[in-house]
Amino acid sequence: MSAPRTPADAPATPPAPEASGTSGAPRTDSALTHGLKQRHLSMIALGGVIGAGLFVGSGSGIAAAGPSIVVAYGVSGLLVMLVMRMLGEMSAANPASGSFSVHAERAIGPWAGFTAGWAFWVLLCVAVGLEGIGAAQIVSGWLPGTPEWAWVALFMAVFLGTNLAAVKNFGEFESWFASLKVGAIALFLVLGVLAILGVLPDTDAPGTANLTGDGGFLPNGSEGLVIGLLASVFAYGGLETVTIAAAESEDPVRGVAKAVRTAMWRIALFYVGSMAVIVTLVPWDDPKIVEKGSGPYVAMLDRLDIPGAGQIMNVVVLVALLSAMNANIYGASRMARSLVARGQGPKVLGRVTSGVPRNAVLASSVFGFLCVLLSYWRPDDIFAWLLNMTGAVILVVWAFIAVSQLVLRRRTEREAPEKLVVRMWLYPALTWVSLAGMATIFVLMLGQPDTRDQLMATGLLTLGLATIGAVRQRRARGAGPAA
């Protein structure tokens, strides 16, 4: 019998640290450290809602929906609030670094945890590559002639180093990034509100001219609103990271509960508030809203004659992209580690050294950088296929979250009701409403040529992973002890 290993060099062999205990409740992964402080988790929760998609992707939504983009972001934001409430209920009751993947495994079966977890891992790795490319384009614009891939490699090396060292480094980086993002968006909103009120020097209150003129509140009809709704749904990326990070915090239950309870005002303020300010001050058909190197935030600052508006927003977007890279490397590595710890992946990715799953961090970073290289070598086939394949993964994850909550809420009420420190509102009615909303979005995606390809590719990825997961589950049962 070999000598026992310490957590500093823990192998990934079942029974997994996140496997269910006798009560059916998963335990947090004891091989990982609890180096995230409450302030780290609070800032991750606060800054995580301000993703690069808010700054980069909102222009196309405004161009399609016009002023009704406020409604689109409000509706999709309501759906996200419900999803976060469901996820928060399960994660506060049973914190785990695998988050929704662990919940899906407990509620539905190992195949569901396998599917949700690995689909999310692929999504995060592709996102790391995309965010690296976006950040490199900004820096290359400041320093013409420098190769973009070299900047991506530099960013990747920095975040690889911080994530390999200790989880507290990830927490510190994200805390600073979040502070910068929150400060920027807060200043933007304050300036916007003052401009709307006509308080700023040399500005007149616009009233409702931009909301009702140029075709009215719905300039492109219901079809434009649908396109805006689909664009807004995928802007809410990064919200799930806080429930993954909570498992490595000093007080996971308190951290998750606080993050979820403040999600409503954060979404309302940062997303819906931003859109309302922009479409009130800037005509929805202003070319700068969708212009490369500009965007809706730059367009608004230009309207207010803020000098250097474009460069100011480039800095903010760069911070948002780098923050997302850091968070996604972290989230991907922890998801991979959790899957391996449950016997659902290659064991080499599960090794934990000094409380950090270093092989999982390396693998996630390498996959992300491979996506960057593919964007240059094979942009029109392999890279485009990867983008389409991950296009609707977040909706698949949300669906797993909702179904898992339906099952686990009943189980927790029966076995350990004291764990329900966060409760889904009007259960199970609002859970079913959420599922209906997701189904509606899937149907709407089928009706749009651009999103139809994404949905089909994501469907193939999900089906492939589910098939592999089901086969693995059947083999595991067949290899179990005889009755």
Helix (H) or strand (E) segment spanning residue 9: strand 9-10
Give CA–CA dist 136/134, Å, rounded. Answer: 5
Long-range contacts of 132-141 (CB under 8 A, 24+ apart): 132/156, 132/321, 132/325, 132/368, 132/369, 132/372, 133/372, 133/375, 134/52, 134/56, 134/317, 134/321, 135/318, 135/321, 135/322, 135/325, 138/314, 138/317, 138/318, 138/321, 139/318, 141/293, 141/314
Residue 392 in any domain: the answer is: yes
Task: Supply 177's token pair.
Answer: 């990034």
pLDDT tens-digit readout, 374-417: 888 877 777 777 777 777 899 999 999 999 999 999 999 999 99
- Both tokens of 312, joined, read 């100011």
- Tell whether 399 is covered by a domain: yes
pLDDT for the residue 143: 93
**What is the C-alpha separation between 314 and 7, in angstroms, rounded?**
43
pLDDT at 480: 59
**Does 301 reside within a domain?**
yes
- Give the DSSP H/E element, type plus range, for residue 359: helix 358-377
Q: Is the peptide bond before 307 cis (omega within 30 degrees of 0)?
A: no
Average pLDDT taken over every residue of the chain: 85
- Cα dihedral 20, 164, 328, 118 in deg (nearest 10): -40
Q: What share of the chain has pLDDT > 70, as a percent? A: 91
Q: What is the pLDDT of residue 481?
A: 52
> How many other β-carbons are positioned within 10 Å of the β-carbon of residue 186?
12
Q: What are 104-150's pLDDT values in tens digits?
A: 999 999 999 999 999 999 999 998 988 898 889 889 989 999 998 89
Does 278 fall in a domain?
yes
Give me the CATH number covering residue 102.
1.20.1740.10
d(CA 308, CA 330) in angstroms, rounded, equals 34
Written as six digits, the tokens of 405 are 């909550």
Taking each helix axis from N to C end, the angle separating 449-478 and 382-390, rounded to the nearest 10 degrees, works out to 80
pLDDT of residue 479: 67
Residue 222 forms part of a structural domain? yes
Check residue 317 and give its pLDDT: 87
Q: Give the chain's residues under pLDDT 50.
A: 1-17, 19-28, 482-483
What is the predicted pLDDT for the residue at 67? 95
Measured CA to CA, the distance from residue 152 to residue 135 in angstroms comes to: 8
Q: Which structural domain range is residue 181 located in?
A: 33-473
> Position of tokens 């998801």?
335
Is 97 contained in some domain?
yes
Would you say residue 7 lies in a domain?
A: no
Question: What pLDDT was estimated at residue 29?
Answer: 54
Supply the pTM of this predicted model: 0.89
Alpha-carbon torsion angle 84, 388, 272, 260, nearest 10: 10
Number of domains within the chain: 1
Which residues pair with residue 353 across a beta bridge? 9, 356
Would residue 10 count as lying in a domain?
A: no
